[in-house]
Structure 1
Amino acid sequence: MTKLVILIYSVLLITSCAAKKDVYLFTSFHEPANEGLRLLYSNDGYHWNDFKHIFLKPEAGDAKIMRDPSMVQGPDGTFHLVWTTGWKGDLGFGYASSKDLIHWSPQQHINIMATEPTTVNVWAPEIFYDDVKKQYIIVWASCIPGRFPNGQEDANNNHRLYYTTTTDFKAFSTAKLFLDPGFSVIDAQILKRGTQDYVLVMKDNTRPNRNILVATAKDPLGPYSNYSSRFTELFSEGPNATKVGNDWLIYYDSYRLKRYGAMQTTDFKTFTDFSNKVTVPEGHKHGTILKVTTKTLNNLKKETGVQ
């Protein structure tokens, strides 16, 4: 009887550990961005599979598109999703939430740049949960013609990063400037490495560059400094990083080469090209990576019929 009890306990323990093991989800969309939210999944962070399923059809905004879907899971387990709703002439971003990634709240269009009516666009909102101040930070790129020196960009393509904060997704702080690095910048993601240690991954959107770099700060809202050199090839965008073991993998859309690339780093100073060591399904366009439980993944597989 004792051996039987031990055996049963061992099986239950193994099952419990397996259920708690984190797996990876990668939010995604396919061009021309009118279908909606897709998800990729991975057990190791290197090799990705496509559910081949639309989880949320876009309804927010005039254009009814969903680009650059960014998602985070809050401390209460709720998933919060934000996305780009239009190329030009759109002053806001889309928002919806879900407890299980299957059933979603009504979609909202957060008209966050209404106080800046000359804004050209609101691109690639990226969501981050600040576990110190217990608030969500949403960062995006906007161009306000004439606000900053054009440099090598024309007035309608000279982007800076802006942000808002919220605790409940009902009230949002007034949009404020998040980062002016002195050049046109888009596609930014905040990462937390440790206590008072944050990294901002972003795209230098100037014509000579159009590739990825990082900067660091002691607070998620900055100020950011210690800008790195550009470490990806030209014509790369949509960087998104996840930690795999002791390494960070920075995925990015190498759109001229029509493939997904990845850079590996441990210190955000030295970067190694891991593009040939990852597999990303064809058609995937940039989103964000988050870790979820095996139970969540299994529920999504059951819902979509994935074996």
Structure 2
Amino acid sequence: MRRIFIFLGLLAILFSVESCRTAKMTDDPVFLFSYFKGNGEDGLHLAYSTDGLNWFPLNDDKPVLEPRVGKDSLMRDPCIIQGKDGLFHMVWTTGWTDRYIGYASSPNLISWSQQKIIPVMDQEPTARNCWAPEIFYDSINDQYLIFWATTIPGRHSQINHEDKESGYNHRMYYVTTKDFNTFSKTRIFFNPDFSVIDCTILKHNAKFYMFLKNENPNPPEKNIRFSVADTPDGPFPTKVSEPITGDYWAEGPTTLIKGDSVYLFFDKYREHKYGAVRSKNMIDWEDISDQVSFPKGTRHGTALKVDKSVLDNLMSKFKN
């Protein structure tokens, strides 16, 4: 009888250890990455990661959603967030010269709503573009911010082009919405003395960090910097940080918080690969580009943390 009790006790200990191990595995973070390839004509691509460094394509790296709106029918710079309603909300660049952006939502990243355009710059007939829109949920005001880069000729302080890049001179604009059906009036969001694109916002330690690309062409900057504000709708100081990326051209920043570090991923578009930096104090940034791997051809994407069940459903639907 004593041996039976000892045996049952050992079984209980083993079961407890296995339960803890299984719970730990279940609680491990899972990450997704939305991106486009080529010119964006084939649509939305998704990759996944369990460590935030090594990313693997879903659906054999074929698109999981095709573009249906816009003059050029593109799906560039797809930005996805999971809203407070549990839905995944996505915006994207529909074309090179559109005065609107694309929008769709999904409960699971598998089935999607009808795609529609949001005419964010209809009131500006000379606006040349709407590029790289992003969404951020403003919990302070219970609303979503949607912001993007636009060039309006003659509107802002001039920069030195010397006939480079067709005279683009971008600034950031934004709208707010609570339901993605009605939107506020378009307003200026960030207006520094340089051409700026590809902004993304991270909430960290009760501050809001706007990472951005200095797009000045002459002399070329093409690097990632940041500005810090107390609220997500700013104002963000136009005196920004020094570059936190290295001696290469970088764009399309996106962030993840993993452990005690902030990871910033970006498109090294001249080198046709992805890079990354990380920081524990938002002051010192370590370049870890040699530690990350992405599907070949990944362009300007968004990283997000999701429940493991979301990835399980995607893996089941899009078997590689």
TM bracket (short chain): over 0.9
C-alpha contact (below 8 Å) 1:189/1:239 kept by paired residues: yes
Q: Any idea what SS the aligned residue of 1:28 has?
A: strand
TM-score after normalising by structure 2: 0.89
Task: Please give the per-residue CA displacement for 1:215-237, whole angstroms capped at 9, x wherever unaligned.
Answer: 10101111122521112234211
Match of 2:242 in 1: 229
Q: Hey, what's the Cα distance between the residues in 2 that align with 1:143 and 1:211?
A: 19
Give the partner amino acid of 1:177. Answer: I
Q: 2:145 aligns with which of 130, 137, 147?
A: 137
Q: Hey, what's the Cα distance between the residues in 2 that align with 1:143 and 1:190?
A: 21
Deviation larger for 169-178 or 46-55: 46-55
Match of 2:215 in 1: 205
Give the partner amino acid of 1:272. Answer: E
Which structure 2 segments of 5+ residues have no match? Answer: none
Give the partner amino acid of 2:297. Answer: G
Give the partner amino acid of 1:267. Answer: N
Which structure 1 segments of 5+ residues have no match? Answer: none
Q: Hey, what's the Cα distance between the residues in 2 that align with 1:12 and 1:96?
A: 39
Q: Hey, what's the Cα distance between the residues in 1 that align with 2:12 and 2:85?
A: 35
C-alpha contact (below 8 Å) 1:228/1:269 kept by paired residues: no
TM-superposed CA distance for 1:117, in Å, is 1.1
TM-superposed CA distance for 1:6, in Å, is 7.8
Match of 2:227 in 1: 215
Q: Any idea what SS the aligned residue of 1:288 has?
A: strand
Q: 2:131 aligned with 1:123, yes or no?
A: yes
C-alpha contact (below 8 Å) 1:162/1:177 kept by paired residues: yes
Match of 1:258 in 2: 272
Give the partner amino acid of 2:33. Answer: F
Q: Any idea what SS the aligned residue of 1:35 has?
A: coil
Q: Any idea what SS the aligned residue of 2:300 has?
A: coil
Give the partner amino acid of 1:35. Answer: D
Match of 1:159 in 2: 170
C-alpha contact (below 8 Å) 2:277/2:285 kept by paired residues: yes
TM-superposed CA distance for 1:256, in Å, is 1.5
Deviation larger for 15-24 or 51-60: 15-24
TM-superposed CA distance for 1:267, in Å, is 2.5
C-alpha contact (below 8 Å) 1:53/1:304 kept by paired residues: no
Q: Any idea what SS the aligned residue of 2:122 has?
A: coil
Once the two structures are superposed, the pairs formed by residues 1-307 of structure 1 within 5 Å of their partners are 15=22, 18-51=25-58, 52-88=61-97, 90-153=98-161, 156-195=167-206, 197-207=207-217, 208-225=220-237, 227-232=240-245, 233-306=247-320
Name the CA shift for 1:133/1:36 in 2 (closer, same or farther; >3 Å). Answer: same
Q: Which has the larger radius of gyration?
A: 2
C-alpha contact (below 8 Å) 2:272/2:297 kept by paired residues: no
TM-superposed CA distance for 1:139, in Å, is 1.1
TM-score after normalising by structure 1: 0.93
